[in-house]
Amino acid sequence: MEHGEDFIVERDLAVLVQRMNSLVGGVPLLSLEAVEHEIRARDRQLNNPFCKDMQISAIRTARAYLGAD
């Protein structure tokens, strides 16, 4: 995070989007509204026990695995 010129950390989403756009010369490739929409959609997937996202399914399966101790 400290040494990567294209790695951005921000607490405020609007500032994050602004800084991400500044990486490409200030061209507004991302809009705050579009990024917020995607974040909310992803959060809904995390909260849905029947979601079809393979990553989330793999995480849930791994967390539920008791192992053979």
Q: Which domain holds residue 33?
A: 13-64
User: What does the pLDDT average to over 38-61?
Assistant: 88
Q: What is the pLDDT of residue 38?
A: 95
Q: How many domains does the chain have?
A: 1
Whether 44 and 56 have beta carbons less than 8 Å apart is answered as: no
Asked whether residue 18 is domain-assigned, the answer is: yes
User: What are 47-55's contacts with CB under 8 Å, separation 24+?
Assistant: none
| Residue 3 resides in a domain | no
Q: Does residue 66 register a pLDDT over 70?
A: yes
Rounded percentage of the chain residues whose pLDDT exceeds 90: 39
52 occurs within a structural domain: yes
CA-CA distance, 47 to 53, in Å (whole number)? 12
pLDDT computed for residue 69 by the predictor: 56
1 has a pLDDT exceeding 80:
no
In this structure, is residue 1 part of a structural domain? no
4 against 54, higher pLDDT: 54
